[in-house]
Amino acid sequence: MLEAIDLTARRGSAVLFTRLRLRVDAGRALLITGRNGSGKTTLLRILAGLTQPEEGRVTINGEPAYAMRAHMAFAGHAAALKDELTVEENLRALVELSGETATVEAVRAALVGVELSQQRELPARALSAGQRRRVGLARLALLPRALWLLDEPATALDTAGLRVLADLVAQRLRAGGAVVAATHQPLDLLADRTDSYALQ
């Protein structure tokens, strides 16, 4: 599904990785691990098509990654929530931005799934860091894309939140989706479907 061919990236003058190759098949998850500053986020942004690699290319099903963005969901460091809007409005706007239509029931069900149904009408500024992450998870649940790219998905999540994340990823993998997650902490995902790649 996702293939990265001979990627080279640098930040400033420091080379993060050279001629990196990786491949993720449908139904598989790839954990990108590495210490802080090893280029996990850069790699993920290159895979998403946000950052241009110095050399090399990324393809999704043989097409350039950016052209396939309708088949991809990216969850970055920030949850992309507007402080002024309510949780429900934020979630609906994000799903619509991805070109999907979300019914009121689907949005509410997704919020129930991440245990935020009480906070539905709250402005996003009232949410804690972990709750913002959970809204991000609800967004993923509403975006059944072929490929999920997750940057540090476990940050700020409590035990119950981590379970929600693991369940969502497991569901996606069983449905034939692929997941790439950059993380510095171990994630409890489906072991038989998960590969890992360590950045130096």
Residues that bind other proteins (CB under 8 A): 1, 25-26, 48-52, 61, 69-72, 74, 76-85, 89, 93-94, 96-99, 123, 144, 146-147, 175-178
Three-state DSSP at 98 gives: coil
Three-state DSSP at 120 gives: coil
CB of 83 to other proteins, least distance (A): 8
Beta-carbon contacts of residue 108 (< 8 Å; ≥ 6 apart) = 88, 117, 120
Orientation of helix 129-142 relative to helix 87-97, angle to 10°: 40
Longest dimension (CA), the chain: 50
CB of 198 to other proteins, least distance (A): 25
CB of 50 to other proteins, least distance (A): 5
Beta-carbon contacts of residue 169 (< 8 Å; ≥ 6 apart) = 29, 148, 179, 181, 189, 190
Place of tokens 């992309």: 80
Nearer to other proteins, 74 or 186 (CB): 74
Nearer to other proteins, 14 or 78 (CB): 78
CB of 191 to other proteins, least distance (A): 21
Nearer to other proteins, 97 or 160 (CB): 97
Nearer to other proteins, 51 or 112 (CB): 51
